[in-house]
């Protein structure tokens, strides 16, 4: 049996009972370590699960999945994934590969950022398509995300921006030279994300991400109890805050849709930098107090 098991968002205790029982049955347990991260180290997971974990990086999961699936027809093997197993396309791919080999599979679900974003007060059914925001480089500054945000906004929907992480990445030079030398991990911060959004808005000039009149909510360490941070305001306000206010990574950013409900305004106001949140909601988003 091949198990694909979600670990939730925070620490070793977020795994479900069903997931933990499966882990304890497995002969080999892999920990996927590049699409997201937990808030604790691998050793803490191993101590709680009572099983050694094999770290599976991007190359192993995407290029060497046969090694993970080896002998899974005969013994139990698990791949542990931060959040929910279907939060990344690559996890669906390894399931397809397992089934094509005639390996029995089972998925154990868990909480992910896709549903935990409700903690900010915006209703889940008011979200449109989620969008990834990647680090800009000198030669690559993609703006296709802007079209997705625009599509959501035209429908009045909120947009969840998943901010880039770089784990075990190679520089362009090392990649070109075939050298297995990796850069230190990097996690996109809220100020960097907002600066990229504003840069693209200045380029496109469609008013989708106007800094002074677009409401946004930053979230970090969602599900992490006292480590969780939520901050609401305009893009301009968020971009001017001291980075420490946003907490530790991982970070996400929500662009508030135009079909904003009064209850959403009231709930998120507790995270607002100041009364600009309610003023913009009233004057720009046309949300009237109930």
Q: pLDDT (tens digit, 0 to 9) for every residue of the chain, 290 residues total?
A: 999 999 999 999 999 999 999 999 999 999 987 778 888 889 999 999 999 999 988 778 877 888 999 999 999 999 999 999 998 777 899 999 999 999 999 999 999 999 999 999 999 999 999 999 999 988 899 999 999 999 999 999 999 999 998 876 766 677 777 777 777 888 999 999 999 999 999 999 999 999 999 999 999 999 988 999 999 999 999 999 999 999 999 999 999 999 999 999 999 999 999 999 999 999 999 998 76
Report the pLDDT value the prediction gives residue 141, as an integer from 0 to 100: 96
| d(C-alpha 184, C-alpha 276), whole Å | 38
Encoded tokens for 54: 């094999």
Pairing of the two strands 165-166 and 215-220: unpaired
Place of tokens 């990086």: 57
- How far apart CA 260 and CA 257 sit, in angstroms, is 6
Distance CA 113, CA 41 (A): 20
Q: What is the pLDDT of residue 46?
A: 96
From the number of C-beta atoms within 10 Å of its C-beta (0-12, 13-18, 19+), residue 274 rates as exposed
How, if at all, do strands 159-163 and 77-81 pair?
unpaired
In whole angstroms, how large is the CA radius of gyration of the chain?
21
Of 132, 263, 158, nearest to 215 by C-alpha is: 158
């Amino acid at each position: 049996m091949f198990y694909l098991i979600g670990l939730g968002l925070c620490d070793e205790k977020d795994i479900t009972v069903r997931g933990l029982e499966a882990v304890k049955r497995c002969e080999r347990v892999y920990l996927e370590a590049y699409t997201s991260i937990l808030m604790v180290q691998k050793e803490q997971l191993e101590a709680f699960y009572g099983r050694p974990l094999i770290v599976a990086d991007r190359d192993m999961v995407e290029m060497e999945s046969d090694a993970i699936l080896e002998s899974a027809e005969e013994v139990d093997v698990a791949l542990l994934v931060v959040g929910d197993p279907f939060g990344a396309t690559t996890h669906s791919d390894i399931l397809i590969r397992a089934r094509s080999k005639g390996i029995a599979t089972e998925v154990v679900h868990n909480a992910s950022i896709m549903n935990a974003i409700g903690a900010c007060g915006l209703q889940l059914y008011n979200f449109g398509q989620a969008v990834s925001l990647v680090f800009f480089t000198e030669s690559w500054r993609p703006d296709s995300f802007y079209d997705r945000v625009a599509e959501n906004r035209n429908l009045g929907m909120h947009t969840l921006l998943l901010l880039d992480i770089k784990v075990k990445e190679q520089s362009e030079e090392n990649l070109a030279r075939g050298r297995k030398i990796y850069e230190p991990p990097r996690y996109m911060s809220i100020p960097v994300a907002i600066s990229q959004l504003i840069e693209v808005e200045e380029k496109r000039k469609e008013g989708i991400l106007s800094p002074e009149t677009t409401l946004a909510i930053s979230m970090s360490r969602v599900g992490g109890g006292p480590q969780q941070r939520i901050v609401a305001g305009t893009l301009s306000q968020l971009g001017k805050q001291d980075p420490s206010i946003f907490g530790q990574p991982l970070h996400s950013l929500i662009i508030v849709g135009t079909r904003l409900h009064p209850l959403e305004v009231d709930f998120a106001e507790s995270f607002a930098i100041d009364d600009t949140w309610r003023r913009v909601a009233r004057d720009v988003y046309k949300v009237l107090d109930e």
